[in-house]
Amino acid sequence: MYVTSPIGIFEHSEIRLPHFVEAETAKHSHFSTAEAGHRMFCEGDDAIYIYEILEGVVRTSKLLFDGRRQILSFGYPGDLVGLSHDCFYHSDCEAVCDVKLRVHHKNACHASIESEPEFAKKLLKFAASEVNNMQEHFIMLGRKSATEKVASFLLTLLDRVGEPKNCKTCFDLPMCRSDIADFLGLTIETISRTLTKLREDGVIELPKKHRVHVCNVPGLRALAERA
């Protein structure tokens, strides 16, 4: 679920959810879509569904009383959003672009846990790895400079959805600058300036506002830990 993940949890491991949930929850799950900008759930809503992202990207966020926003995660295909320890969602969730979803009933998951201890262990493993990814993001928010934050963010996307083209690695940046800013604890101006700086230094190209070509991966990696 967290873009901060170095690898997609479900994509590259044996715990890809559909496979395990299928048996018990298929009859209780359904497919759905959401248009760009659509709010899937709000903080405080009854947490009845667990959403599995099939296509597109969603963002989860929390608001402060005065409107300040922190984006908690970007959900990419293979990710889960909407897990709750009580019966309420603790964040908002919106579609960043058009998304395709698989919607699982919470109760069906609970049933699976009881009938299949293996499933429980894997869900637990998923949760623990979420915790781990979030811990990485703690360092990001608490101790990294603006350049390091942006470089780290681009690297995470590169590792997760980058496609090699010639000698470059390319990917879309579906979220707007203010989403990135609220994810990294910065302002849109700082995001813009930092991206410009990376472009001027020849580390990346920005053919379109929402498209990134990384020309110098080692350079970007160095900036992520050093600048």
- Count CB atoms within 10 A of the CB of residue 62: 14
Of residues 32 and 187, the one with the C-beta less far from DNA: 187
Q: Please, which residues have CB within 8 angstroms of residue 101's CB and are 6 or more apart in sequence?
A: 31, 32, 33, 34, 40, 51, 52, 53, 54
Contact range with DNA by CB under 7 A, out of 121-129, 144-152, 164-172, 216-224 = 144-152
Q: Is 156 in the site for a second copy (CB under 8 A)?
A: no
How many binding residues for DNA (CB under 7 A)? 20
Say which entry of DNA, a second copy, none residue 107 contacts (CB below 5 to 8 A, set by partner kind): none
**Among 27, 178, 211, 222, which residue sits at the site for DNA (rule: CB under 7 A)?**
178
Q: Does residue 136 contact residue 216 with C-beta atoms inside 8 Å?
A: no
Secondary structure E strands in 58-182: 58-63, 69-75, 80-81, 92-95, 99-105, 163-165, 168-172
In whole angstroms, give the CA distance from residue 191 to residue 178.
8
Which of helix, strand or coil describes residue 208?
strand
In 10 A of CB 128, how many CB atoms? 10
Using the Cα atoms of residue 119, residue 123, residue 124 and residue 126 in order, give the sign of their dihedral: positive
**Dist CA 178 CA 188 (whole Å):** 5
d(CA 199, CA 209): 12
CB 14 within 8 A of CB 98: no
> Can residue 132 be called a binding residue for DNA (CB under 7 A)?
no
Report the partner that residue 62 touches, choosing among DNA, a second copy, none (CB closer than 5 to 8 A by kind).
Answer: a second copy
Question: Pick from a second copy, DNA, none: which does 138 bind, CB < 5 to 8 A by kind?
Answer: a second copy
Site for a second copy in 67-96 (CB under 8 A): 68-70, 72, 83-86, 90-91
Give the shortest CB-144-to-a second copy separation in angstroms: 8
Ranges within 77-106 binding DNA (CB under 7 A): none
DSSP string, 49-92: EEEEEEES-EEEEEE-TTS-EEEEEEE-TT-EE---SSSB--SE
**CB of 33 or CB of 192, closer to DNA:** 192
Query: Under the criterion CB under 8 A, does residue 28 sit at the interface with a second copy?
Result: no
Q: Does 201 bind a second copy (CB under 8 A)?
A: no
Segment near a second copy (CB under 8 A), from 30-38, 95-103, 113-121, 206-214?
113-121
The binding track of 145-174 with respect to DNA, each residue x by CB under 7 A or -, is: xxx---------------------------
Give me the residues that bind a second copy (CB under 8 A), please: 62, 64-65, 68-70, 72, 83-86, 90-91, 110, 113-115, 117, 120-121, 123-132, 134-139, 141-144, 182, 184-185, 225
